[in-house]
Amino acid sequence: QVQLVESGGGLVQAGGSLRLSCALSGTTLSRYAMGWFRQAPGKEREFVAAIRWDAGNTNYDDSVKGRFTISRDNAKNTVYLQMNSLKPDDTAVYYCAGRLSTLIPVTPQLYNYWGQGTQVTVSS
């Protein structure tokens, strides 16, 4: 089975930084497009960032451009989300997702595999 496990969430003050990790098991990360999504209470799951299987392209939601960076290490079967200059509005459960594709979808319905999520809370 393909499994994704997120880690690295926690409580941080506004302006601080966190780095989320997503470990893939059951297969190799190579050839998987990977994305990060987040969901706050009462809101739908929204796109944050995505990266192509070979890291040749990335995409970010406008709300995180210039603050967040998605990266991957296929040899370690791990995807990262570096989050800087965090704001209270960034508070949410963050999920990583994967799809065996050369494309980098930005809609959650197009991803086949999901992690359990990790909570990020940014205080004022």
Average pLDDT over residues 95-103: 92
In the prediction, which pLDDT does 36 show?
98
pLDDT tens across 18-39, in order?
Answer: 999 999 999 887 889 999 999 9
Average pLDDT over residues 81-86: 98
In the prediction, which pLDDT does 55 show?
84
Residues of the chain with pLDDT > 90, as a percent, come to 87
d(CA 47, CA 83): 15
Between 102 and 95, the more confident residue is 95
Q: What is the 3-state secondary structure (H, E, C) of the chain?
A: CCEEEEECCEEEECCCCEEEEEEEECCCCCCEEEEEEEECCCCCCEEEEEECCCCCCEEECCCCCCCEEEEEEHHHCEEEEEECCCCHHHCEEEEEEEEECCCCCCCHHHCCEECCCEEEEEEC
Distances (CA, A) of 52 to 3, 24, 94: 19, 15, 19
In the prediction, which pLDDT does 27 show?
85
Between 75 and 94, the more confident residue is 94
d(CA 78, CA 55): 12
Say whether pLDDT at 43 is over 90: yes
